[in-house]
Amino acid sequence: MSTPQRPDLTRQLSTTSGDFDTSNPPEVRKYLRTYGLTPPNVESFEVQAQRCLKLLAMKTTPIEKFQYLTHLRATNVHLFYRLLSENVKELTPLIYTPTVGEACVRWSEIFTQPEGLYLSWHDKGNLRQILDNWPHDVEITVLTDGSRILGLGDLGVNGMGIPIGKLALYTACAGIRPDATLPLTVDLGTGNKALREDPLYMGSRRPKVTAEEEREFLDELMAALTDKWPSIVIQFEDWKNPFPSLERYQNTYTMFNDDVQGTGAVIVGGFINAVKASGIPAKDHRAVFLGAGSAGVGVAKQIVEFFIKEGLTEEEARRKFYFFDSNGLVTLDRGDKLAEHKVYFARDDNNGRQYQSLSRLIDFVRPTILMGLSTIGGAFNHDILTKMAKLNDKPIIFPLSNPSSKSECTFEEAVRATDGRVLFASGSPFPSLEHNGKYLTPGQGNNMYVFPGIGLGAILSKAVSVTQDMIYASAESLSTSLNKNEVADGWLYPDIRRIREVSVIVTRGVIRAAQQNGVDRVPELRTLSDAQLDAYIKEHMYDPFNERENVGDEVAQLLATASGIGNAKDFTNGYTNGHAAHL
Ligand SMILES: NC(=O)C1=CN([C@@H]2O[C@H](COP(=O)(O)OP(=O)(O)OC[C@H]3O[C@@H](n4cnc5c(N)ncnc54)[C@H](OP(=O)(O)O)[C@@H]3O)[C@@H](O)[C@H]2O)C=CC1
Ligand SMILES: CC(=O)C(=O)O
Ligand SMILES: [Mg+2]
């Protein structure tokens, strides 16, 4: 019996595809044996992009557009990234929040092809072996268990859309090679009963494993990943309870949690600019947070760090925060057992008073800052917004929950209620609008401004761990990345269309912090000036406009030199002979 042939996964797994790229010149088509299989014209990117954008416009719903872009990535990865990098503002909402939220909800319905790796509880004991099935060398993975997908709850393995979307942004925003990324979803069961009963659901039907079982599984997985790819960077994403793994692995592996640390950094980055714009010194701010989960606490902890750098003591900084969760104001005497991560910010100065209404808490605290990380769409209603407008000249209001349906308010609602004075950032994008003859653009406080640079910085410096200083450096670097026009227009975040430039600045900050902490493993980078380091970073970024990796060295060489024509002929002969033999 002959040995079963392994399917050509490198082609199927959407990372080196492009065989039918209509920009391939004849020599490449011959080499790939696709000559004659695509129409004869060799097309420019401009023509290809025109067709793609027309096709996209023909799709009427966001999910159809998502599916089209998924198909494009699977069939022509470089064209997909050319299109994405040229249209990042328009396309990001279709491959990331908000559309990726709907895609995850409907994942088992719309699934057509493998795009990542799924590991299940019953694979325990064999994880290292299964990693060998992945056909590429990996530099970075995004790892979820699907248990808190955006603000949409536990979606089990349907959460795979998130690692895929985040890693597409790693490639588009920070130029990490697409074939060096691994979307990874672990199926440790799901607490979502409706999913378990859905015949189309593609995960296991078991309930969620215990915390102890999860730890055992992750211990094995972390060891397996680093055994297989020793310098791998591991980003945890959208875990319902991300704190135990962060604490357990952050000093022993090159890992970080994007929802706790990336979100903290991106919000501090915009917050530094918002504090400047508010005209109120750090010591006089007071913050109300709706939502005391991983993101809320992650953000507040990093703002504490910022306040300390602004001259406050840790105690003064900590006491500026009032958290409101599903049981009201988080206090030490509330009568329930507080989750460990909430204790640091729990109030002890409420004199026995419990606040069950956000509106009343705002009257009591008179905050300058209102943050939403609650998953409760519309929670910042007109009453709340007008209160913030009365209390402040320039209220800082950040409704950060994703996707858009979970945003605590819209940009328009915040602008109208504050007569355009709001300093605003939301997790998902909102359109610009006109108010009193002024054109106002909302900030997008989304960790996509920092995680690509954190990842690339860790990869290029070969950091042994991702330190808190590296995370904080990403925030500071982001805050300095705005250009003159953006500053003059009062923006809190740079234009997303400049994200690759911004990622270079963030990456440099992350690498410098790694060097200061002594966790880097590329000593040559230490002696580079900032300009030299920027050049080094850019040189190492994947550029989809400069890619013909699938054609092989021989043809690349032919294409690169006019004198290659002779070789091309030889090669064409070889191709013809080979093909004849094949036929
Ligand atoms: N903009 C960005 O870059 C990011 C945005 N996010 C978004 O932040 C949101 C929260 O994420 P995360 O912190 O990880 O989620 P969690 O589930 O950990 O936390 C949600 C928090 O909201 C609270 N909450 C739920 N319902 C209510 C309610 N009715 N009234 C008041 N509080 C309520 C919960 O209270 P309790 O603790 O009592 O259950 C909990 O504290 C998500 O929508 C996510 O998409 C997350 C990361 C990045
Ligand atoms: C943006 C993100 O990481 C989240 O909403 O979970
Ligand atoms: Mg997330």
Residue with more model confidence, 335 or 379: 379
**Res 326 pLDDT > 90:** yes
Tell whether ligand 2 has an atom less than 6 A from the beta carbon of residue 152.
Answer: no
CA distance 473 to 519: 14
Domain parsing of the chain, residue ranges: 44-253, 261-446, 450-526
**Res 557 pLDDT > 80:** no
The Cα-based distances of 331 to 284, 304, 355 in angstroms read 22, 18, 9
For the question of residue 166 being annotated catalytic, the response is: yes
| Nearest ligand 2 atom to alpha carbon 149 | 6
Q: Are 47 and 148 in contact (CB under 8 A)?
A: no
Q: Which residues pair with 426 in a beta bridge?
A: 444
CA distance 258 to 474: 12
Ligand approaching nearest to the C-alpha of 300 = 1
| Nearest ligand 2 atom to alpha carbon 97 | 1
In CATH, which superfamily holds the domain spanning 261-446? NAD(P)-binding Rossmann-like Domain (3.40.50.720)
Exactly one of 31, 81, 96, 575 is catalytic; name it. 96
pLDDT tens profile 161-181:
999 999 999 999 999 999 999
ipTM for this prediction: 0.99
- Amino acid letter, 166: K
Residue 310: helix, strand or coil by DSSP? coil
State which H helix or E strand residue 105 sits in. helix 99-105
Tell whether ligand 2 has an atom less than 6 A from the beta carbon of residue 446.
Answer: yes
Q: Are 223 and 253 in contact (CB under 8 A)?
A: no
Q: Is the pTM of this model over 0.95?
A: no
Q: Is 446 annotated as a binding residue?
A: yes
pLDDT band at 548 (very low <50, low <70, confident <90, very high): low
For the question of residue 536 being annotated catalytic, the response is: no
> Domain 44-253 is of which CATH architecture?
3-Layer(aba) Sandwich (3.40)
Tell whether ligand 1 has an atom less than 6 A from the beta carbon of residue 376.
Answer: yes
| pLDDT value of position 571 | 35
Ligand 3 ion local residues (Cβ < 5 A): 238, 259
Q: How many angstroms does the Cα of residue 188 sit away from the middle of ligand 3?
A: 18
Q: How many angstroms does the Cα of residue 313 sit away from the middle of ligand 3?
A: 30
pLDDT tens profile 70-120:
999 988 999 999 999 999 999 999 999 999 999 999 999 999 989 999 999
Choice among 25-39, 93-107, 450-464 with the minimum mean pLDDT: 25-39
Q: Is 148 annotated as a binding residue?
A: yes
Say how many residues make up the chain.
Answer: 583
Tell whether ligand 2 has an atom less than 6 A from the beta carbon of residue 235.
Answer: no
Q: How many angstroms does the Cα of residue 409 sit away from the middle of ligand 1?
A: 14
44-253 and 261-446, same CATH topology: yes
| pLDDT value of position 28 | 82
Q: How many angstroms does the Cα of residue 60 sit away from the middle of ligand 2?
A: 26
Cα torsion at 125, 126, 129, 132 (round to 10°)? Answer: -120
Both tokens of 172, joined, read 């588009």
Q: How many angstroms does the Cα of residue 237 sit away from the middle of ligand 3?
A: 5
**Res 564 pLDDT > 50:** no
| Nearest ligand 2 atom to alpha carbon 401 | 5
Pocket test for ligand 1, best of 154, 257, 373 (most atoms within 8 A of CB): 373
Q: Are 19 and 8 in contact (CB under 8 A)?
A: no
The Cα-based distances of 210 to 256, 263, 375 in angstroms read 22, 27, 25
**Res 583 pLDDT > 70:** no
Q: Give nearest CA residue, ligand 2 atom 6.
A: 150
CA distance 65 to 68: 5
CA distance 18 to 519: 38
Ligand approaching nearest to the C-alpha of 379 = 1
Exactly one of 166, 208, 228, 301 is catalytic; name it. 166
The number of C-alpha atoms within 13 Å of 502 and in the hemisphere containing its C-beta is: 28
Tell whether ligand 2 has an atom less than 6 A from the beta carbon of residue 373.
Answer: no
